[in-house]
């Protein structure tokens, strides 16, 4: 398809003008004196796509009539939903042609993208600044691992994973007893119920429990719907001024780069309407705004789903632009902390509320967030925020092919044998025990295997806690780190000797270990960047890869500083890469 682009495009965007040419529409000699024209200004309201033109369009993308018709109907639905537009057949068909031939074909833009980002007003160069639906999917493929330990689509899984950031009571109706339900209802006679795997606010409702309510019947109904029950969040009064009936949330887009640095790329605000209980903009129940991610100040007017612009909330009269969100530094710090807990999901859209106690409350985490929200309210493309991070991550993956700190080897046929045969060398264990701090009174040995040798090296008065995933001896405390378990024990020193390589979720394990250790952590391990023989490591049945820098930075983030390290003498190429690291609490 070759379409000539003329210098004078009659007040139309580049793509709309080319679509008119493709459709054979003849422009008058002179353009209208109108900065933003639409095709119907020149060609009337009733231009139709005849069967010949439809066939010509289908051939451009090799689509069947059925698929073409489906695309057209979807586009038309979005077109007629946009209130600022003239709803003429001419504009519909020209805009459809523009998106079909150019934005959808070249950028993977959806009908929703075309109207939300006002592509009918933008040049091709301007359109390329936006993240379209097709590009959004590519971001998730590059950024997020398919088999990540956190399934954000399961709200129960999310609540367990981020329990310390919920700041509200909750209950899984599917798996609770009548007694547990009664205790919850006694405390919260008015609560929120939502499907554990729902999205877009579907199925969310407020439940008010009456004095004579049949609790068993109510629980059975909630169980049948697969609901999760939550204490209602009382939001900060400054945010409630916009709409007190809904919890007006903040969407925060975070990206964890390969250096373990969290980038808060963009933030948007969502506001509901009086009489509604959700702020989901996609359902036409509210407004979105752009928030400066550094300052927490709203920088745009409010935008509704039908693309109407509001300077003030129509129900309360509260002005959007210029509003300063409270507790913004605290919000950024909380999101940064949560983002580092999920390095297999580098890109997450967090739905956050700020409650009346100034606490940062996670409502949901989204591994595939709608990126349109961050680009529609001010009609500014933000692909530039992602490109360098994605390119760096792609280059890193090409070079390393393994994600640091997480399971990378799924081909271990016999984990027990691989783990048990990775014997902890007695000389290295003796060195580690010689490095115990003088005032050590308790030692937590994580991944102890047979604990007898370490126990024999413990100084008098040191209480020894051996821990492993199975009973290597009667005194071993059973705890499977790969199931997210960790012993509820505090000790002066933690010893982790040739265990880190077998932990599938190393960041969480290291964080748990830092919480348990009061003074010192000794880690004997083999960082992948210190291997003298990568070929040997690839053949060895280690589960996880991590670099020395990853280890040191992760420990530092958990308030432990490296004070000394003891490389192994190079007795062989294989053994030389084993290092003992001595960390002390900051």
Please give the residue that has the higher pLDDT: either 279 or 69.
69
Please give the residue that has the higher pLDDT: either 374 or 425.
374
User: Would you state the pLDDT for residue 3?
Assistant: 44
**How many whole angstroms separate alpha carbon 143 and alpha carbon 108?**
18
**How many whole angstroms separate alpha carbon 386 and alpha carbon 257?**
11
Sheet bearing 442-446, strands edge to edge: 477-478, 463-468, 442-446, 491-497, 517-525, 579-585, 560-567
User: What's the mean pLDDT when you consider all of the chain?
Assistant: 88
pLDDT (mean) for 397-407 = 57
Maximum CA pair distance of the chain? 99
Tens digits of residue pLDDT in 422-460: 556 677 788 889 999 999 999 999 999 888 889 999 999
Give the 3-state secondary structure percentages of the chain, helix then strand then coil, rounded to 5: 35, 20, 45
| pLDDT tier at 578, thresholds 50, 70, 90 | confident
pLDDT (mean) for 279-307 = 87
Residue 585 clears pLDDT 50, i.e. is over it? yes
| H-assigned helices in 369-414 | 373-376, 383-400
SS (H, E, C) 106-121: HHCCCHHHHHHCCHHH
| H-assigned helices in 315-382 | 328-339, 373-376
| pLDDT tier at 153, thresholds 50, 70, 90 | confident
Residue 401 clears pLDDT 50, i.e. is over it? no
Tens digits of residue pLDDT in 161-206: 899 999 999 999 999 999 999 999 999 999 999 887 766 667 788 9
User: Would you state the pLDDT for residue 8?
Assistant: 56
**How many whole angstroms separate alpha carbon 399 and alpha carbon 388?**
17
**How many whole angstroms separate alpha carbon 583 and alpha carbon 563?**
6
Domains, the chain, ordered by start: 14-128 (no CATH), 169-231 (3.30.1490.20), 237-399 (3.30.470.20), 415-585 (3.40.50.150)
Tens digits of residue pLDDT in 72-121: 999 999 999 999 899 999 999 999 999 999 999 888 999 999 999 999 99
Residue 390 clears pLDDT 90, i.e. is over it? yes
User: Would you state the pLDDT for residue 400?
Assistant: 56
Of the candidates 367, 335, 329, 293, which has an alpha carbon nearest to the alpha carbon of residue 162?
Answer: 335
pLDDT (mean) for 8-21 = 89
Q: Which residues of 80-117 are buried (b: 16+ CB within 10 A; e: fewer)?
A: ebbeebeebebbbbbbbbbbbbbbbeebbbbbbbbbbb
pTM above 0.75, yes or no: no
User: Would you state the pLDDT for residue 212?
Assistant: 86
């Amino acid at each position: 398809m070759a379409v000539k682009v003329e210098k004078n495009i009659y007040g139309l965007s580049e793509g709309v003008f080319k679509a008119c040419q493709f459709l054979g529409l003849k422009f008058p000699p002179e353009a209208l004196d109108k900065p933003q024209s639409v095709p119907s200004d020149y060609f009337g309201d009733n231009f139709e796509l005849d069967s010949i033109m439809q066939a010509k369009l289908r051939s451009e993308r090799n689509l069947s009539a059925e698929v073409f018709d489906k695309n057209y109907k979807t586009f038309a639905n979005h077109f007629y939903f946009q209130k600022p537009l003239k709803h003429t057949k001419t504009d519909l068909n020209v805009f459809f042609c523009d998106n079909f031939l150019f934005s959808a074909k070249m950028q993977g833009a959806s009908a929703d993208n075309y109207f939300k980002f006002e592509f009918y007003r933008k040049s091709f160069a301007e359109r390329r600044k936006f993240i379209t639906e097709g590009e959004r999917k590519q971001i998730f493929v590059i950024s997020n691992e398919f088999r990540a330990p956190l399934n954000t689509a399961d709200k129960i899984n999310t609540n367990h994973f981020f329990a310390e950031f919920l700041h509200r009571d909750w209950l899984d109706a599917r798996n609770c007893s009548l007694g547990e339900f009664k205790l919850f209802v006694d405390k919260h006679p008015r609560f929120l119920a939502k499907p554990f795997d729902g999205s877009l606010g579907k199925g969310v409702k407020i439940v008010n429990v009456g004095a004579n309510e049949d609790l068993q019947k109510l629980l059975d109904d909630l169980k049948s719907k697969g609901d999760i029950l939550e204490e209602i969040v009382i939001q900060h009064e400054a945010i409630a001024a916009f709409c007190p009936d809904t919890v007006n949330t903040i969407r925060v887009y975070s990206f964890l780069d390969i250096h373990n640095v969290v980038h808060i790329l963009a933030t948007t605000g969502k506001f509901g309407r009086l009489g509604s209980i959700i702020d989901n903009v996609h359902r036409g129940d509210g407004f979105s705004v752009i928030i400066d991610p550094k300052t927490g100040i709203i920088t745009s007017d409010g935008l509704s789903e039908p693309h109407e612009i509001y300077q003030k909330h129509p129900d309360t009269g509260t002005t959007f632009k210029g509003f300063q969100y409270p507790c913004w530094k605290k919000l950024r710090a909380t999101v940064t902390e949560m983002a580092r807990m999920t390095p297999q999901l580098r890109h997450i859209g967090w739905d956050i509320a700020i409650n009346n106690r100034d606490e940062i409350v996670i409502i949901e985490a989204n591994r595939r967030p709608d990126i349109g929200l961050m680009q529609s309210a001010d009609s500014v493309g933000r692909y530039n925020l992602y490109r360098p991070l994605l390119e760096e991550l792609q280059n890193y993956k090409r070079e390393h092919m393994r994600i640091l700190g997480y399971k990378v080897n799924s081909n271990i046929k016999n984990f027990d044998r691989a783990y048990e045969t990775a014997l902890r060398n007695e000389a290295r264990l003796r060195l580690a025990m010689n490095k115990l701090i003088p005032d050590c009174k308790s030692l937590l040995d994580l991944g102890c295997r047979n604990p007898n040798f370490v126990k024999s090296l413990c100084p008098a008065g040191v209480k020894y806690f051996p821990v492993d995933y199975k009973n290597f001896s009667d005194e071993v405390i059973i705890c499977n780190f790969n199931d997210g378990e960790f012993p509820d024990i505090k000790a002066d020193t933690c010893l982790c000797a040739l265990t880190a390589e077998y932990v599938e979720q190393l960041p969480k394990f290291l964080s748990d270990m830092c919480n348990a250790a009061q003074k010192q952590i000794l880690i004997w391990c083999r960082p992948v960047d210190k291997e003298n023989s990568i070929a040997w490591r690839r053949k060895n049945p280690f589960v996880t890869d991590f670099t020395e820098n990853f280890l040191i930075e992760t420990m530092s983030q958990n308030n432990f500083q490296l004070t000394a390290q003891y490389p192994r003498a190079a007795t062989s190429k294989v053994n030389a890469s084993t290092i003992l690291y001595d960390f002390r609490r900051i």
